[in-house]
Chains A and B, each alone.
Chain A
């Protein structure tokens, strides 16, 4: 459902069915809504069979990279004699994205059930749910749900009476966007600074505490119980464009839009209908100008590109951007694109872990130059400098934070160059003077 709004008839609620329903939060409420049946079912299957069902469903990671989930799980080798770990990435910090927050604060048991099934499938006895420190409400709701699950014997020394141990703990973040990067997240669990690690080794070989580890996003794990209950075919059929993108996806919508909130649609849903119908389009008296469709790290789309997009992994790429985390940021004609991009650059400069030179220096210089242009002190040469800097920030670092800073800058200059030029020619922000008048 379109929390905090009523469900739109064209939505397909699966994960969001119980958003806004406080009774779904408790264990008894969750069981009354069919909860934990999928886990029971899973325990009657072999781990390999579970991995195969998830593989067949086509489920791909919902955190941003879109890696096939079943394939990721299959990298965990059973019986290797090593402790296996599951890490749930609940560090949701990508500007524009607030879907995992809703899953955790309305349906915490959905996440715990997904984590328990995944733990069984990959042979993990310990699962860490890494929740960002600012998420005070999700920390409380997931914490209370974990207590219930332990009391009920769903978790613990003999989880669900199987004789197998599954322990699940919250690891509370402490304010660092980069800890949403999977290797930084593992470092943070280990009690280190949250700096990304060089890969290989990949987490399935040497992850948290040097042991085989799988890291999955909240939304990915919450989808797993539904896939087991309803079958891979059911999930695969929810696909209206590319067969490589299956199931439903939660999209968070924010910025200058009539009805911000979370919406759940089948992969391949037309972005035009989504923006203008489901989300109510522009605010009265305004027109939409630009969309960042997958969280702030993906390229900006013009409205023309956005309106031609079918909402799946392939559809966004075909129209100049990426699905990313599904955080849709909408800008209308009241917004200065130069100012918005400058503020995003400042975000990345603040959040850079400063390990890699290209990122540490690049994000800082891009911010300085963007803010100079925004204030009216820029030159035409600055645009070339920004593009050159961005090129040096792309594909050259341990993680993609640097690339993420470059994406809105490059796409912004390509697609909204006239706004940059107006700042430079007029030696001030044309929007700001308009607003002041």
Chain B
């Protein structure tokens, strides 16, 4: 299950329902300006349609903002001549786009059967305990960690693989968890 499906404790409520011109909402800062816009323009030359730049554009949003808000979906839709509803349909299909803010360190532990047979559930428990998140998909009170179970990471011979943001850790056992976390600021 993706983090998005579970909802994070720090979800900014204004992003969920605020339409344009809502009195309480903060000003939205566009993502696609300056260098980021130039990067997207370059990506668009790789494809014969604008729509094909949608997945790369959403990756850029997530890189810049940490998650993909509804406002960002609207911006992406404008930039690529799509509708916000279409963009949301795509965002919700893929599990790696965060639809809510997540912890500074987003930790994904593979628990599909091959890893499950090698003790992945104990690794999950160790991460929940040592990060203080206690529950899957919930961000720790200091905003530092979110832990989720993820489906097959494609590294089954290195059970249990764990991703911490972009970093891939192989052959993780419960006794290595404290050490992995201690290296994160």
Residues on A lying within 8 angstroms of B by beta carbon are 4, 83, 92-98, 100-101, 126, 132-137, 167, 169, 171-177, 188-194, 209, 252-256, 260-262, 296, 327, 329, 331, 335, 339-341, 343-344, 347, 350-351, 353
Contacts and interface: CB of A to CB of B under 8 A. Distances in A.
A137 to B, nearest CB: 6
Contact of A95 (B51, B89, B108, B152): B152
A347 B90 contact: no
Nearest to A335: B117
7 contacts: A171-B56, A172-B59, A175-B95, A190-B49, A190-B52, A329-B114, A343-B111
B90 A193 contact: yes
Interface in B62-111: 80, 89-90, 93-97, 108, 111
A340 to B, nearest CB: 5
Interface stretch (B16-24, B29-37, B135-143, B162-170): B162-170
B38 interface: no
Contacts of A93: 151-152, 154
Contacts of A194: 93-94
Contacts of A137: 168
B55 A351 contact: no
Contacts of B163: 134, 136
Nearest to B58: A174
A134 B154 contact: yes
Contact of A343 (B2, B96, B112, B156): B112
Interface of B: 1-2, 46-49, 51-56, 58-59, 80, 89-90, 93-97, 108, 111-114, 116-118, 150-159, 163, 166-168
Contacts of B95: 174-176
A171 B55 contact: yes
A97 B157 CA distance: 8
Contacts of A331: 117
Contact of A98 (B1, B51, B154): B154
Contact of B151 (A177, A253, A262): A177
Given A98-B157, A136-B166, A136-B168, A177 B152 contact: yes
B94 A175 contact: yes
Nearest to B93: A193
Contacts of A252: 156-157
Nearest to A253: B157
Given A136-B168, A176-B93, A256 B117 contact: yes
Contacts of A135: 154
A167 B53 CA distance: 16
A107 B59 CA distance: 26
A189 B167 CA distance: 25
A350 B113 contact: no
Nearest to A128: B46
Contacts of B117: 255-256, 329, 331, 335, 340
Contacts of B49: 190-191, 209
B163 to A, nearest CB: 6
A192 B113 CA distance: 29
Given A95-B152, A335-B117, A254 B159 contact: yes
Contacts of B108: 134
Contact of B2 (A98, A172, A175, A260): A175
B116 A340 contact: yes
Nearest to A259: B157
A209 B113 contact: no
Q: Which 5 A-B pairs have the closest CB atoms?
A: A191-B54, A175-B96, A174-B94, A175-B95, A254-B156
Contacts of A209: 47-49, 52
A174 B97 contact: yes
Given A101-B155, A194-B93, A344 B46 contact: no
B114 A172 contact: no
A135 B150 CA distance: 13
Contacts of B118: 254-256
Interface-central residue, A95, A193, A344, by most chain B CB under 10 Å: A95
Given A97-B156, A191-B53, A260-B158, 17 more contacts: A97-B154, A133-B96, A134-B150, A135-B154, A171-B55, A173-B96, A176-B93, A209-B47, A256-B118, A329-B114, A329-B156, A331-B117, A340-B116, A343-B112, A347-B113, A351-B151, A353-B93
